[in-house]
Amino acid sequence: MMGRYLGDREGFALMMTIWVVVFLTVVAMSFVFSGRLSTAMTANLRDETMAYYGALSIYNSLLGRISSDTDPTIDFVDEKGRFFLDIEHGPLPERIEEAGVVARVRVTDEEARINLNRMSQKMLLKVLDSLSVDEEDQDVFRDSLYDWIDRDDAHRLNGAEDEYYEKFGYKAKNGYLDLPDELVLIRGFREKLADSVRKGDLLKDFTTFGTGGINVNTAPPSLLALLGLTENQIDMIMAQRNETVGGVRFVPREITPFGVTRTATSYFRIEITARPRGSKTGYRILAVIRRYPAPKGYRFKTLYWKEDVIYSNNKA
């Protein structure tokens, strides 16, 4: 009996020892994991902060570069996609590195895009064709867009006002679009453009900023073709958009009916994606600004601002 009793005690002691070892192992592992997590969070915060201030610094540098424009009557994009404010300073940078931060930079002209608030009905129908909207549905898209923008509550024959949108939990805006993404709230566009908004395609091709006139020197050939210019007219324009010629100085009279009325812009979109060198954590800034002449150079007004943290599988 005594031997069995001692054996039970030894077995119990062994089990207790095992459980203590397991418990201590779990505690130790939790401390290790917590320490690593804390270290990772600290590193991410450090990189995020570096990226944020780096992006802001680069943004201000770009404003300085735009302020140094020596030829405000012309801006152009060449066949390689490089944006020139003037010939003297060369193209705007696409990559900037400073203080250990690497940034991809893109400056574009808002007036190289179709202005959704100011386009003519003829232009709207061309846009709907480009979006592959069936001809029988185009009246719904057109009337619904105009009902969304106009100031009254009376809907057009194929349009929509509050009574249609209330089932979705909102009302017709009765005002200009703030951003192209707002199109997905409008009858007809909801179903057609949801995927384009998710991919960010609408911001690439359309705008709600600017005068509504298209810049002959920055509009891509695909847009000029959509507007109705002939292949020969587009070739003649592109032949002048280079460092040697410096862009089109005067808009040919025959293309102004297509909405191509400008040779320079005052509305710029600035996109910056910055990361500390060797880091996967970064910061993105997207801004739309308007440039005004001032007694000493230019002043700027921010029309749109968006910023967010980004994470990537690739290091800068």
Could you give the domains of the chain? 1-114+208-316 (no CATH), 117-199 (1.10.40.60)
- Report the pLDDT value the prediction gives residue 294, as an integer from 0 to 100: 87
- Report the pLDDT value the prediction gives residue 136, as an integer from 0 to 100: 80
pLDDT exceeds cutoff 80 at 196: no
Average pLDDT rounded to a whole number, residues 255-260: 94
The pLDDT tens digits of the residues spanning 28-56 come to 666 555 555 455 556 678 888 999 999 99
The pLDDT tens digits of the residues spanning 71-122 come to 999 999 999 999 999 999 999 999 999 989 999 999 999 999 999 999 988 8
Q: How many CB atoms lie within 10 A of CB 240?
A: 16
- Report the pLDDT value the prediction gives residue 218, as an integer from 0 to 100: 98
Lowest mean pLDDT among 9-13, 45-49, 166-170, 303-307: 9-13
Q: Read out DSSP for the chain?
A: -HHHHHHHHHHHHHHHHHHHHHHHHHHHHHHHHHHHHHHHHHHHHHHHHHHHHHHHHHHHHHHHHHHT-S-TT--EE-TT--EES-STT-BPPSEEEETTEEEEEEEEEGGGSEETTT--HHHHHHHHHHTT--GGGHHHHHHHHHHHHSSSS---TT---HHHHGGGT-----S--SSGGGGGGSTTHHHHHHHHHHHTHHHHHEES-S-SPEETTTS-HHHHHHHT--HHHHHHHHTTSSTTT-S-SS--GGGGGGTEEESS-SEEEEEEEEEETT-SEEEEEEEEEEEEEETTEEEEEEEEEEEEEEE-SS--
pLDDT exceeds cutoff 80 at 7: no
pLDDT exceeds cutoff 80 at 314: no
The pLDDT tens digits of the residues spanning 116-150 come to 999 988 888 888 888 788 888 899 999 999 999 99
Average pLDDT, the chain: 87
- Report the pLDDT value the prediction gives residue 296, as an integer from 0 to 100: 82
Cα four-point dihedral sign 119, 121, 125, 131: positive
Which one has a higher pLDDT value, 132 or 285?
Answer: 285
- Report the pLDDT value the prediction gives residue 42, as an integer from 0 to 100: 63
Cα four-point dihedral sign 50, 52, 56, 62: positive
Q: How far apart are CA 210 and CA 264, in angstroms?
A: 12
- Report the pLDDT value the prediction gives residue 155, as an integer from 0 to 100: 85
Inter-residue contact 275 to 282 (CB < 8 Å): yes
Lowest mean pLDDT among 55-69, 88-102, 146-160, 189-203: 189-203
- Report the pLDDT value the prediction gives residue 20, as an integer from 0 to 100: 65
pLDDT exceeds cutoff 80 at 207: yes
286 strand-pairing partners: 271, 306
Inter-residue contact 280 to 311 (CB < 8 Å): yes
Query: What percentage of residues in the chain have a pLDDT greater than 90?
Result: 62
Average pLDDT rounded to a whole number, residues 157-182: 92
For helices 121-130 and 138-149, give the axis angle rounded to 10 degrees. Answer: 130
Which one has a higher pLDDT value, 114 or 313?
Answer: 114
105 strand-pairing partners: 272
- Report the pLDDT value the prediction gives residue 190, as an integer from 0 to 100: 76
Which of the four pLDDT bands, split at 50, 70 and 90, describes residue 58?
A: very high
- Phi and psi at 275, nearest 5°, equal -140, 145
pLDDT exceeds cutoff 80 at 263: yes
Which of the four pLDDT bands, split at 50, 70 and 90, describes residue 305?
A: very high
- Report the pLDDT value the prediction gives residue 163, as an integer from 0 to 100: 92
- Report the pLDDT value the prediction gives residue 134, as an integer from 0 to 100: 86
Lowest mean pLDDT among 10-14, 124-128, 192-196: 10-14
Inter-residue contact 274 to 310 (CB < 8 Å): no
pLDDT exceeds cutoff 60 at 4: no
Q: How far apart are CA 312 and CA 305, in angstroms?
A: 22
Which of the four pLDDT bands, split at 50, 70 and 90, describes residue 69?
A: very high
